[in-house]
Amino acid sequence: MAPNLKYEKALWAEGRDIVCGIDEVGRGSWAGPLFVGAVVFDQKNCRQIRGADDSKTLSAKQREKICAEIKKRAKAFSIGRAEHFEIDELGMTEATHLAIKRAVEALRVEVDALLIDAFNYSEIDSIAVKGGDSVCYSISCASILAKVERDKHISEVPEAAIYRFDKNKGYGTKEHQELIKKHGVSDIHRKSFKPIRALS
């Protein structure tokens, strides 16, 4: 079943007009930043985009097409990032908090409530939705936005050609591991990650 607006409608009914879907991409990547997408839809004009779903279930071409529609239809959207060195310094949980904070602050609206994919965030009233990217429309759109933007970013960094980030997006594929063994660990690899320490 496709994601729906059940969670958004429940919050709108409580008078919380600005409801923001939040999702992250890149937690498991061995290199580069973590991206968080934030998407807000207008409750008076929220016709769902055909095909919008958990970004992991879509092809790159489908994600890019839907992402363009999200940017057209959303009341507001933004990206927040936590850099690789911030992940190393803070740990993944705190780095995710930081990226969420940056995403929310980058929105051009004052948010009343957050819907977050299976993650607790205390600075704004929020609901952690288990499997949110596959059941909650705003979260699924945030996941698509974050995935498209992060894939574009990691594919264009200077290290991309050496480590084939255009193909593996920084994740620990067999080819990526072999390239680390051959070329060593780069500046944008996450040095705190156990697999990276093992290959260093």
Q: How much of the chain, in percent, has pLDDT values that exceed 70?
A: 100
Instruction: Name 32's Cβ contacts closer than 8 Å, sequence gap at least 6.
Output: 26, 84, 150, 153, 154, 157, 165, 170, 188
DSSP run (H or E) holding 24: strand 19-25
pLDDT digits (tens, 9 = 90+) for 48-68: 999 998 898 899 999 999 999
The whole-angstrom separation of Cα 140 and Cα 23 is 8
User: What are the φ and ψ backbone dihedral angles of 76, each rounded to 5 degrees?
Assistant: -160, 150
The whole-angstrom separation of Cα 44 and Cα 24 is 27
pLDDT value at residue 199: 86
Domain boundaries, the chain: 6-150
Q: How much of the chain, in percent, has pLDDT values that exceed 90?
A: 88
With 80 as the cut, is the pLDDT of residue 189 above it? yes
- Asked if CATH classification 3.40.50.620 holds for the domain at 6-150, the reply, yes or no, is no
**DSSP-based three-state secondary structure for 172:** coil
Instruction: Name 45's Cβ contacts closer than 8 Å, sequence gap at least 6.
Output: none
**DSSP-based three-state secondary structure for 154:** helix
What are the structure tokens assigned to 11, written together? 């919050």
| pTM metric for this prediction | 0.95
Q: Which residue matches tokens 């498991």?
A: 28
pLDDT digits (tens, 9 = 90+) for 164-183: 999 999 999 999 999 999 99
